[in-house]
Amino acid sequence: LRRNPGEHEFHQAVEEVLTTLGPVVKRHPHYLAERVIERLCEPERQIIFRVPWTDDAGQVQINRGFRVEYSSVLGPFKGGLRFHPSVMLGTVKFLGFEQIFKNALTGLPIGGGKGGSDFDPKGRSDAEVMRFCQSFMTELYRHLGEYTDVPAGDIGVGGREIGYLFGQYKRITNRYEAGVLTGKGLAWGGSRARKEATGYGAVYFANEMARHAGLTLEGRDVVVSGSGNVAIYAIEKVTELGGRVVACSDSSGYVVDEGGIDLDLVKDIKEVRRERIGQYAKERRGGSARFVERGSIWDVPCEIALPCATQNELDEDAAHTLVGHGVDIVAEGANMPCTPGALRVFKEAGVLFGPGKAVNAGGVATSALEMQQNASRDSWTFDYTDNRLAAIMHNIHERVVTTAEDYGRPGDYVFGANASGFTAVADAMLAMGVI
């Protein structure tokens, strides 16, 4: 705490992991003797830089850029970039810390990192976003490389931003190094199913949880928070598997639709027009939807909850409300969306709870598949990539469940994910000496 003042989200993420590791270090005391945990609390490298750019009015704007290269024992640093006004060092460190264990769970050769800026793309023109991205990459490029550090998207960074970032990287380095960024467009090195991967993967994982407990997603009412990249494709997969998504949201409020969310309309509003979710209720045919400004989406009755927006969006009160409605599965599509208080409520109520580092690992896993395609100058079909994603999510589920059982804690997905991810990283660190 003294070493990282004011980094509340980072403290929260570290505490969440460390408080579960007791049984692991008891079984492997050399992790303590070799001070693996202390080493993991310190990122390998942290880069903070100025991002000056000019807006459409000719005014100079200044933002702050970050890249936390957290751990590279399992592979090059890998993790997304977030553009949101709330981004500060503690945000990037929390996300980078989570990313190490998530990436380890995929079983693919990727280390953990995260980055971003306090730049807000909302309301900015394409030209402004491009100038910002070019300035951001003009500093960041020297730290990247397909064997060093490979960023992707996150909140506020989608295909448009990755395009501008990749264009500037290519221009500065004079190299078509496709494997340096993931989430690229299909015509220039992107992978089919990457856009869908985090949302689809989250639902594959929730489906595995349900199956394992003798439940199903079919015919169940589901609430998905957010209406960005993860939420949209989670809604798509839930619907495909026979569930009914009754509500989604953005930071302005939420929409409830008794007829089930019309995903084409959400995509048009969010992906094409970049408008607010309130527009959905105005345009929904048949008038089955209503918009609730500001309120909590977790007030909407459901049986399965998929928080897919942002950190700490589901607190203790919301968790009590969900339990009161009889929710039996909560799976985190977003990173750390549930507060520690909410986790306690779910645990006490016996709700099946899937933590983000397992549930949303399909995004980064498919990014690693994009890197494989780039390295072999290949391009796979949608079905092939999607099948690999489903298999990876199945394997992560198996790994988490087996680890929890091995430690005598069946059904504890939080413990299973933390213990399994940590052990993989710690063993690699020990094998490489004091690094």
Interacting residues toward ligand NDP by CB under 6 A: 153-156, 198, 226-231, 250-252, 308-310, 313, 333-335, 360, 363
- Smallest gap, in angstroms, from Cβ of residue 338 to ligand NDP? 11
- Please identify which residue in the block is written with the tokens 């990755």: 162
User: Is 78 assigned to a binding site?
Assistant: yes
Query: CA 390, CA 388: separation in Å to the nearest integer?
Result: 5
Cα 195 to Cα 113, 188, 234: the distances in Å are 20, 14, 11
Cα 363 to Cα 279, 370, 390: the distances in Å are 28, 11, 11
Q: Which is nearer to ligand NDP, 36 or 203 (CB)?
A: 203
Catalytic residue among 93, 114, 170, 357: 114
Q: Which residues of 377-407 are buried (b: 16+ CB within 10 A; e: fewer)?
A: eeebeeeebbebbbebbeebbebbbebbeeb
Measured CA angle at 122 (ends 118, 126), to 5 deg:
105
Q: Which is nearer to ligand NDP, 14 or 334 (CB)?
A: 334
- Smallest gap, in angstroms, from Cβ of residue 360 to ligand NDP? 4
User: Is 153 assigned to a binding site?
Assistant: yes
Beta sheet of 289-293, edge-to-edge order: 289-293, 253-257, 244-250, 221-225, 304-307, 329-331, 352-354
Task: State the virtual CA torsion across 107, 111, 112, 118 in degrees, nearest 10.
Answer: -130
- Smallest gap, in angstroms, from Cβ of residue 285 to ligand NDP? 22
Say whether 114 is catalytic: yes
DSSP, residue by residue, 21-39: -HHHHHH-THHHHTTHHHH
- Give residues with Cβ within 8 angstroms of 354, minimum separation 6: 205, 206, 209, 329, 330, 331, 332, 413
> Comparing C-alpha atoms, which of 309, 311, 291 is closest to residue 300?
291
- Smallest gap, in angstroms, from Cβ of residue 31 to ligand NDP? 27
DSSP, residue by residue, 296-318: -GGGS--SEEEE-S-TT-B-HHH
Q: Which is nearer to ligand NDP, 37 or 89 (CB)?
A: 89
User: Is 63 assigned to a binding site?
Assistant: no
Query: CA 294, CA 220: separation in Å to the nearest integer?
Result: 26
User: Is 71 assigned to a binding site?
Assistant: no
Q: Which is nearer to ligand NDP, 153 or 179 (CB)?
A: 153
- Smallest gap, in angstroms, from Cβ of residue 120 to ligand NDP? 9
Q: Which is nearer to ligand NDP, 135 or 191 (CB)?
A: 191
User: Is 333 assigned to a binding site?
Assistant: no
Q: Which is nearer to ligand NDP, 275 or 348 (CB)?
A: 275
Q: Which is nearer to ligand NDP, 230 or 429 (CB)?
A: 230
- Smallest gap, in angstroms, from Cβ of residue 212 to ligand NDP? 22
CB atoms within 10 A of CB 271: 15
- Smallest gap, in angstroms, from Cβ of residue 94 to ligand NDP? 10
Q: Which residue is nearest to ligand NDP (CB)?
A: 228
- Give residues with Cβ within 8 angstroms of 206, minimum separation 6: 217, 304, 306, 329, 331, 354, 359
Cα 349 to Cα 321, 333, 344, 354, 396: the distances in Å are 12, 21, 9, 14, 25
Residues belonging to the binding site for substrate are 78, 99, 102, 153, 367
Q: Which residues are catalytic?
A: 114
**Which residues belong to the annotated binding site for NAD(+)?**
198, 229
Binding site feature residues? 78, 99, 102, 153, 198, 229, 367
